[in-house]
Amino acid sequence: MPETSPNDGKGRLGPLGLEQILALLVRNGLLQEPDALSLRDKAPLQRRRLQRERQAAGTTDIPITWAELVASFQQPAVGSGRITETRIQQAVAEAAGLPYIAVDPLRVDPKLVSDTVSFAYARRNRILPLAVKDGRMTLAVDDPYSRDVIVTMTNRAGMPLDVVVSAASDIQQVLDEVFRFRASVRGAVAELGDGATDFGNLEQLVQLTAGTNVEGDDRHVVHAVDFLMRYALEQRASDLHIEPKRDSSHVRLRIDGVLHKVQELPKVVHRAVVSRIKTMARLDIAEKRRPQDGRIKLAHHDLEVELRISTLPTAFGEKVVTRFFDPQVLFQSLDQLGLFPTELEYFNSFIRRPNGLILVTGPTGSGKTTTLYSGLRAVASPTVNVCTIEDPIEMVVDAFNQTAVNTRLGLTFDSLLRTLLRQDPDVIMVGEVRDGETARNAIQAALTGHLVFATVHTNDAPSTIGRMIDLGAEPFMLASTLVGVVAQRLIRRVCMSCRQEGELSAEQATALGLQLAKDERFPVFEGVGCAKCRGTGLKGRIGVFEVMPVNEKLKKQITEGADAGEMARQAVRDGMLTLRQAAIKKLALGLTSFDEVLRVTADSDY
């Protein structure tokens, strides 16, 4: 705990005020004295303006801190940037001799917060319990000089405190998320009852005889589900997992390809949450023994976001996975995908052709849908009939005529493709080539004057040709229609907020197949971890591509039955970057890390 406030000089303790904060900023060289005096004079009027804004937003119960008030002026700082709440709190932490921590919502234990302090007290005093370790509690505060608050929290916790400084706005945001969500959960538990029958647990199945379904539109459950979906979107999650366990239900988010556990629900609430999601997706809430798939469309920040819902019976109940299709991510201009200029030129030449077959390949979750949709959007116009066959439709787009595969009704890729050829299409997208009939019909469509996009599951571009032939495509017909092949992966970006320059070691260079001269340096960037990347050093993802134009030399090799290795070597001689080479190039540009390059291109054979 700090012993003196930063501006009293006499050892008196007391909460931070406007004068202390302004003096601290001047002392730290962030603010000039005349600017500090000007802000002090403007403060009363600015405070009234902020109060009116909170009245309009219905948040008058949230106190306005002096740090928030000073930050609201957006005053330019001496040197560079502006005076932000974060910079103010960092200065406060330095003056108090305490660490500053940017609160990461995914690393907060909601149960610890709600069990330690009440919402009203935490909100009024802007405090947040973060963790308990080795008999000590880490407590985030915005004002480390509020002795009464820290003493009270020490007594409540029943253990010593390690005080850290955080921004009040970050603390308030987490408090709102934790307490409002848990209030909805508690309300649901109260209405459903702790003794509600659990039909999902196979360990209890033998003992069950009867029961009633939990209503999916209960208001507490509605609030809880709305919170989870909104929170997932705000955290840039691609998937939301709700997983039943023996005694509880776990909620996890997949962010940048990595799963994070964010909540734990009482088991009694799980079925109600699942029923609510199934109701939103127009699924059968009474059917719990079979997998179901559905869709939801949500309005979020003036955007319509598509959600794909998948349910699966498991040992302890129905597991639900919600996949988010953010249009800002799914529909990107081609130059935002991560293609290098030469690769972009190749891809543009593919999609501008009047006919031919374009194959996109890569494992599940490698960004194929984004590439396909972006390519289709680039060619779609009022004069072009774009038709797609998907399983399922990932995102509804007005510019496309989209059809979903439904095997129960006999609507397969093969049958739909044959029908689609009678619909006067200009451009056709086949979601996946799975069998010989679909492969042959896709080639036939390309031969008869259509531009066909299709996906195949292979590791790289050259092996895609062998896969098509294995499925039953005639080599000479494939050679005459295939325009190009695009293999891709998603690689995580180095966090731009905390990256530091380093260089590859000799061992790392060898692992990547690089031959460096004795004194040659290969500068790279690594993220050291910060609040924005949640300590991972990585934030966001970008595509890595292997773009193989099918020229006359490759056509000849396809017809002659050359293997993937021969075609790969020919394509490289013709200028193709392999996945490994493209990833290394992104490493050299400081966009990704050595570990990511190794992870994503581990199956690169040439």
Taking alpha carbons only, the member of 133, 134, 137 closest to residue 113 is 137
- Residue 356 or residue 20, greater confidence: 356
For 155-204, how does the pLDDT look when each residue is reduced to its tens digit (9 = 90+)? Answer: 888 899 999 999 888 888 888 878 777 666 666 666 666 544 444 443 32
Q: Name the phi and psi angles at 456, rounded to 5.
A: -140, 145
Average pLDDT (94-117) is 86
Share of the chain above pLDDT 90, in %: 40
Average pLDDT (530-541) is 81
pLDDT above 50: residue 10 = no
Class of domain 193-328: alpha beta
pLDDT of amino acid 211 = 34
Helices (H), 383-505: 413-420, 436-447, 461-470, 475-481
Taking alpha carbons only, the member of 78, 66, 96, 91 closest to residue 169 is 66
Taking alpha carbons only, the member of 316, 219, 208 closest to residue 270 is 316
CB atoms within 10 A of CB 77: 17
Q: Give the DSSP H/E element, type plus range, for residue 45.
A: helix 33-57
Distances (CA, A) of 448 to 29, 318, 442, 481: 72, 47, 10, 10
User: Which DSSP symbol is given to 76?
Assistant: B
pLDDT of amino acid 186 = 67
Share of the chain above pLDDT 70, in %: 91
CATH code at 331-490+542-576:
3.40.50.300
pLDDT of amino acid 472 = 92
pLDDT of amino acid 196 = 47
Helices (H) and strands (E) in the chain, counts: 22, 18
pLDDT of amino acid 240 = 95
Read off the pLDDT band of 108 (50, 70, 90): confident
Is the Cα dihedral 563, 568, 574, 576 positive or negative?
positive
List the single range of 56-65, 194-203, 231-240, 405-414 with lowest mean pLDDT: 194-203
Q: Give the DSSP H/E element, type plus range, for residue 241.
A: strand 239-244
Average pLDDT (406-427) is 89
Which pTM value belongs to this model? Answer: 0.71
Average pLDDT (447-468) is 93
Q: Give the DSSP H/E element, type plus range, for residue 26.
A: helix 18-27
Over the chain, what is the mean pLDDT? 85
pLDDT of amino acid 37 = 92
For 546-558, how does the pLDDT look when each residue is reduced to its tens digit (9 = 90+)? Answer: 999 999 999 999 9
pLDDT of amino acid 192 = 66
Give dist(CA 190, CA 268) in Å, integer.
10
Ordered by start, the domain boundaries in the chain are 18-171, 193-328, 331-490+542-576
CB atoms within 10 A of CB 425: 21
For residue 107, the SS3 value is helix
pLDDT of amino acid 4 = 41
386-390 and 427-430 as β-strands: parallel, antiparallel, unpaired?
parallel
Give me the CATH topology for the region 18-171: GMP Synthetase; Chain A, domain 3 (3.30.300)
Give dist(CA 87, CA 40) in Å, integer.
18
Cis before residue 392, ω within 30 degrees of 0? yes
Give dist(CA 118, CA 27) in Å, integer.
36
For 273-323, how does the pLDDT look when each residue is reduced to its tens digit (9 = 90+)? Answer: 999 899 888 889 888 889 998 888 887 777 778 888 999 999 999 999 999
- Residue 416 or residue 305, greater confidence: 416
Give dist(CA 130, CA 139) in Å, integer.
6
Q: Which residues pair with 309 in a beta bridge?
A: 294, 322
pLDDT above 70: residue 509 = yes
Cβ 166 vs Cβ 108: under 8 Å: no
Average pLDDT (103-123) is 84
Read off the pLDDT band of 532 (50, 70, 90): confident
Stated length of the chain? 606
